Amino acid sequence: MSKLVLKNVAKRYGAFEAVADFSLELVPGEFVSLLGPSGCGKTTTLRMIAGFMPPTVGSIVMDGREISSPSGVVPPEHRRMSMIFQSYAIWPNMTVGENVGFGLQVRKLSRAEIDRRVDKILDVVQMRNLKGRYPAELSGGQQQRVALARAIVVEPEVLLLDEPLSNLDANLREEMRFEIRRLHDEFKITTVYVTHDQSEAMVTSDRIVVMNKGKIEQIDAPHVLYGRPKSRFVAGFIGRTNFLEGDHQGADVRFDGFSAAAGRLEGANGSGKLLYSLRPQAIGLSMQKSGGAGLAIEAEISDRSYLGEYWDYQVRPLGAAKALRVSTGPNAVFEVGSRVWLEIDPAAMVRVD
């Protein structure tokens, strides 16, 4: 049985449709991220799940019970959900222990039970030694851990997170995304996570819902979204890619600067224009022509950037109008202006709408 089901949910403000025909099913214990640019409707969707606003159309069902529809909404405090906000929303006048135990006090648990559960969750998030400190005495990452502990300690059926790492610096964000996944694996709480950061979504999620202009573009596991994007938007939003536009020329497809046999390309049957996505790391780069089965294309290095973990090259096939982005390891050094050979496996070219 599904844990949480959104059926054709939409939210309108006059003529503006913030969310359109959104349908999603989460199984118990699943971690799903809503990913997209600002204004795509992901936070509006999360707030409808939380019960802060009713849908204009559609329904939200939890454990077989309807909790949201245009005709009525179960209040947030009766949904057995916890939500973590972008601002953390921890009380500055309460200690770490008091913040974490507040929800248990509201539920009128005994003092002994509150202390036991607070100490247990603080051990899990590695904050037991800071139990008596106030939020002003904590780092951003520590405050985030307090917010996570407070949300989890009440043992919610569903955990909702609204861009919880956006206020942290890059190193802390990377650390906390792994921490969020670790806590999910330990407690198995069904989770909906809103973010505009693709790396956060890729690391934390079982599935990702890519949204654009209020609509779902694609729902898939992270590796499927990256390897098999279905649209130009998804291919461009999830990682870096080259878009290759092609035209049929007899049995071949002609791209900017090279051709490929139509029979070797996905979805190249018929006629008309074609669009493919090709990831920079899927392109081989060398000084000598390869004898492999891929397409061998002579080219010239037009620009490069060193990013520590890899080189990002701009490589223009001879006679082409545009350069391709190619990623190589840090030790593969090529000078700007040098002639090189590209090797492209046609199977790595994914056709997109």
Q: What are the Cα distances from residue 77, in Å, to 80, 268, 348? A: 7, 53, 49
Taking domain 4-229, whether its CATH number is 3.40.50.300 is answered by: yes
Going by the DSSP 8-state scheme, the letter that residue 40 receives in this structure is: S
Q: Domain 242-351 maps to which CATH number in 1.10.10.10, 3.40.228.10, 2.40.50.140, 1.20.1250.20?
A: 2.40.50.140
The residue with tokens 């979204």 is 225
Question: What pLDDT shows up at residue 166?
Answer: 85
Report the C-alpha gap between 278 and 282 in whole angstroms: 7
Q: What are the boundaries of each domain within the chain?
A: 4-229, 242-351
Cα atoms found within 13 Å of the Cα of residue 177, Cβ hemisphere only: 23
Question: What pLDDT shows up at residue 293?
Answer: 82
Label residue 129 exposed, middle or buried (CB < 10 Å: 0-12, 13-18, 19+): exposed
Question: What pLDDT shows up at residue 11?
Answer: 98
SS3 readout for 177-188: HHHHHHHHHHHC
Report the C-alpha gap between 146 and 142 in whole angstroms: 6
Report the C-alpha gap between 316 and 313 in whole angstroms: 10
Bridge-partner residues for 260, per DSSP?
253
Bridge-partner residues for 300, per DSSP?
316, 339
Report the C-alpha gap between 139 and 146 in whole angstroms: 11
Report the C-alpha gap between 35 and 196 in whole angstroms: 5
Helix axes 140-153, 111-124, angle to 10 degrees: 130
pLDDT tens, 262-306?
999 999 887 789 999 999 999 999 999 987 888 999 999 999 999
Q: How many other C-beta atoms lie within 10 A of the C-beta of residue 105?
A: 11
Closest CA to 207 of 195, 220, 193, 188: 220
- Percent above pLDDT 70 for the chain: 100
Q: Which residues of 251-263 are buried (b: 16+ CB within 10 A; e: fewer)?
A: ebbebebbbbebe
Instruction: Order across the sheet with 16-26: list the strands.
Output: 16-26, 4-13, 57-62, 65-69, 72-73
Task: Identify the segments of the chain with pLDDT beneath 50.
Answer: none
Question: What pLDDT shows up at residue 310?
Answer: 95
